[in-house]
Amino acid sequence: MCFCFLEIVKKKILVDEIEIPSSTPRINFISEEKIKNKKYIFLSIKYSENYRDFKNRVNYSGEYNLINVYECKDSCKINNELSNYFGSGGDVFDLNNSKIVYKFPYGELKSIQDEIKSKLFNQWLNNGIDRGVVLKKTNINDIDNYTPDRIGYLVKGDIFKVKKISSRWLNITYTNKNGRITTGWISCKDTNVCN
């Protein structure tokens, strides 16, 4: 269990109690950031995660990142929408090829600060992202992270609806020319949404 406290105007308040599976957590960073003239507390916790997929092809390389965003006054309340946008995860290592195949985008405070200033974040914040176009072939996953298994794939030129964004993964709905609907997660970097 990780107990995270914050001192605001000489008053110590509990930010959150976070249960961490089988590891000793550490605070990676905690920072107050302004979004639309409102202050938020960003808390990044890292811990060892020995996840492997069932077929033992990939696992997390190093530590798992948990990013939570809070609104704090007399007490702190998690902002689920912002927390889900930044998400959680870790770098993913391909055991067969001995290389990192996915790098978690928000492992450092600077990456959060840069994202808050990004076109993508501000469009999302203003509900300006509802559709996208695939720029290069991309896999559709059932989770918002790299996985060697896939639901399907999209090719260059395919148009999709965006439902959510998390850790620079897009939760999408795609309808093919026969009317078949596929829902899943695709990498934002393979689309015009992140480019």
Task: Report if residue 61 sits inside a domain.
Answer: yes
Instruction: Say if residue 92 is in the same domain as residue 139.
Output: no
Instruction: Say if residue 87 is in the same domain as residue 145.
Output: no
Instruction: Say if residue 109 is in the same domain as residue 168.
Output: no
For the chain, the domain total comes to: 2
CA pair distance 127, 164, nearest whole angstrom: 10
pLDDT score, position 152: 95
Q: Work out the average pLDDT over 37-54.
A: 81
CA pair distance 25, 21, nearest whole angstrom: 9
Q: Mean pLDDT in the chain?
A: 87
Distances (CA, A) of 170 to 2, 63, 101, 184: 30, 23, 18, 8
pLDDT score, position 9: 45
Query: Percentage of the chain with pLDDT > 90?
Result: 57
CA pair distance 195, 188, nearest whole angstrom: 8
Q: Could you tell me the pTM of the whole model?
A: 0.86
Pick the closest to residue 85 from 15, 191, 167 (CA basis): 167
Query: Percentage of the chain with pLDDT > 70?
Result: 83
Task: Report if residue 123 sits inside a domain.
Answer: no
Task: Report if residue 113 sits inside a domain.
Answer: yes
Host domain of residue 142: 131-190
Instruction: Say if residue 70 is in the same domain as residue 109.
Output: yes
Q: What CATH number is associated with residue 166?
A: 2.30.30.40
Band of pLDDT at residue 189, cut at 50, 70 and 90: very high
Boundary-marking domain end, from 95, 117, 139: 117
